[in-house]
Structure 1
Amino acid sequence: MSNSLDPTEDAELVQAVQESLQQMSIELEHPQDAEAIQQLYQKAQALLSHLTPDPLTVARVTGVLLVYQLPGTDPEEVKWFEGELQNSLDLESIEELVDSIFRPDAL
């Protein structure tokens, strides 16, 4: 599977992802407007800037950042996650990190 989408497809995908994340924020009873979601998406891009992630990987990271905005989230956990992202050497480790957060057997 190719990572090279044409710019129109890429923009459409990013827009669809951001709309889905906005809907997810409503379902989490912590609604975010389009601008807030776009800022989270840009934060995820910045955290992954040392790699070349596809929009879906950025979306998954943005989803985690969105969940971490919920009340009661330990700020140290957010710092840990962001540090892990910045120190990841490849996209596979990013995917494994995101998957591990949502696995019931995660430590």
Structure 2
Amino acid sequence: MLAVGLGGFLGGMVRGLLARWPGGLGGTFTANLTATVVLGAVIGAGELVYLALGTGFAGALSTWSTLARELGELLKERQWRLLAGYTSATLTAGWVVAWLTRWLVSA
């Protein structure tokens, strides 16, 4: 529990910083991609490392609720191009970063 708590504290701190700079869509995008890299890098690591970094840090850093709110706002504001671009970029970059991270870690 201590490992998850400490990792979560640090991940939450980084998430808070990204909410301020770059903030907005860029902050959410950066937080989620960074969490994907961390999680991909620690899969298969020891239990304590995985709990601290994968569950705690990456879990607190990633922000799917904020992503959902931002997408909902873009939908409500009828910003179709930005909505489509941001959704596509988030999904595509997430898959690519996850794949590259696992490939680099296994190499």
Q: Same fold (TM over 0.5)?
A: no
TM-score, normalising length from structure 1? Answer: 0.35
Which structure: greater helix fraction?
2
Larger radius of gyration: 2
TM-score, normalising length from structure 2? Answer: 0.35
Instruction: For CA contacts below 8 A with separation 6 or more, give which structure has more relative contact order.
Output: 2
